[in-house]
Amino acid sequence: METVVRTLAHGDQNAELRIFCCEGAEDHGNLPAYRLPRNKKRLSALEKALDDFDPDVIEFHQQLRQALQISRRFPRATRVLYRHNALKSPRGLFDRWRYERRFRQIDGLIFVSDAGRREFLQDYPRQEPKAFAVPNPINVDLWRAPVDGREPLIAFAGRAMPEKGVDLICAALPAVLERHPDWRAVLMLNDWNKHAAWAEPHVAPLERFGDRVTVLKSAPLSEVRAVMQRAAIALTPSIWAEPLGLTALEAHAAGAALISSGRGGLREASGPHAVYVDDLTADGLGAAMDDLIRDPARRLELARAAQAYVAHTHTPGHRAAQLHDLRERLVHAKSLGR
């Protein structure tokens, strides 16, 4: 989420922007970031800072409860909730009614894919006029590496949880590695401490492959990038409906050929430039890996086309312009309603 915010902010040279974040977030680059205390004084400090700044638009990333608390204090500003994953579905008619009332305090809801927007509108169809999609951008220049001359390496980066398909990867890899002894794998598993109890039994059987399988636990982004820039094949076999799939964009930008489940926003991330696995089982995933390993020409074609696709479609400038135009439209609509 923070990466997306930074990338969009750098891509918009037309906005007078302030970013408010909690203490501990140190990587601000050259952005105008204001640190808030991490204790109970956070909201009052944020309200004071917003009073001083007097913004036309207040854009809340992810936190609905905080957005509602602050929105009440600034009714004249255009208030936008920017969701990086799905909102919780209502448990019944009363729950839906309660959320619909809350959304009255929000002037716009932004999702990171059309798929995410559609999923939200299935639960809250009345919000259609103020629900929008601005897909995540990626700075391809930070990730780009030559697509040819790649190592015989299969890479995965994602949280160590069932929704990401980690168990499928661990079940599929042994047979693939046995059939292709020159190939290796790197699993970069984030939030390891949180999910270790579930993930460890799936990862443990891969230890028999020794240094042919590397498991990096909560690796920094720089290390993820370095691996993706070497890997011939990357995996995003997500079980759940991904909001968009930033790791898919990163793999494409880095020059790896991607095998994807295509669920949620993943097809928006990759377009036609990934191998989509409809049979999302260990056997189905393994067969997709086998096919790409045996067809280096196709790997190269996919990787080259995908890198060009994200460089054209998901650029920071393009997505920032979309967001800037949307903010202006929402401000204008708010002014007409006063």
Domains in the chain: how many in total? 2
Please indicate, yes or no, whether residues 291 and 322 belong to a single structural domain of this protein: no
Please indicate, yes or no, whether residues 110 and 211 belong to a single structural domain of this protein: no
Please indicate, yes or no, whether residues 145 and 133 belong to a single structural domain of this protein: no
pLDDT, tens digit, 9 for 90 and up, residues 36-86: 888 888 889 999 999 999 999 999 999 898 899 999 999 999 999 999 998
Please indicate, yes or no, whether residues 95 and 110 belong to a single structural domain of this protein: yes
Q: How much is the mean pLDDT over the chain? A: 94
pLDDT, tens digit, 9 for 90 and up, residues 224-247: 999 999 999 999 999 999 999 999
Please indicate, yes or no, whether residues 322 and 295 belong to a single structural domain of this protein: no
pLDDT, tens digit, 9 for 90 and up, residues 205-227: 999 999 999 999 999 999 999 99
pLDDT number for residue 12: 77
pLDDT, tens digit, 9 for 90 and up, residues 151-181: 999 999 999 999 999 999 999 999 999 999 9
Confidence of residue 29 (pLDDT cuts 50, 70, 90): low
**CA 53 to each of CA 11, 44, 99, 173: distance values in angstroms, whole numbers, following the listed order:** 22, 14, 29, 53
pLDDT, tens digit, 9 for 90 and up, residues 275-317: 999 999 999 999 999 999 999 999 999 999 999 999 999 999 9
What is the spatial distance between Cα 100 and Cα 111, in angstroms, rounded to a whole number?
17
Per DSSP, the chain holds a count of helices (H) and strands (E) of 14, 12
pLDDT number for residue 21: 85
Fill in the DSSP letter of residue 24.
T
**From start to end of the chain, where are the E strands?**
19-22, 33-36, 57-61, 78-83, 108-111, 131-133, 151-159, 184-190, 213-217, 231-236, 257-260, 275-276
Please indicate, yes or no, whether residues 148 and 276 belong to a single structural domain of this protein: yes
pLDDT number for residue 27: 61
Q: Provide mean pLDDT across the span 174-202.
A: 98
Please indicate, yes or no, whether residues 326 and 250 belong to a single structural domain of this protein: no
Please indicate, yes or no, whether residues 271 and 184 belong to a single structural domain of this protein: yes
Q: Are 87 and 64 in contact (CB under 8 A)?
A: yes
Confidence of residue 338 (pLDDT cuts 50, 70, 90): low
Please indicate, yes or no, whether residues 286 and 326 belong to a single structural domain of this protein: no
Please indicate, yes or no, whether residues 125 and 148 belong to a single structural domain of this protein: no
pLDDT number for residue 227: 99
pLDDT number for residue 203: 98
What CATH number is associated with residue 201?
Answer: 3.40.50.2000
**CA 102 to each of CA 128, 168, 338: distance values in angstroms, whole numbers, following the listed order:** 15, 39, 19
Please indicate, yes or no, whether residues 160 and 266 belong to a single structural domain of this protein: yes
Whole-model pTM: value is: 0.91
Q: Are 109 and 81 in contact (CB under 8 A)?
A: yes
Q: In sequence order, what are the beta bridge partners of 202?
A: none
The total of other beta-carbon atoms located within 10 Å of residue 317's CB is 14
Note down the domain range covering 73: 2-137+316-337
Please indicate, yes or no, whether residues 72 and 202 belong to a single structural domain of this protein: no
DSSP string, 213-228: EEEEES--HHHHHHHH
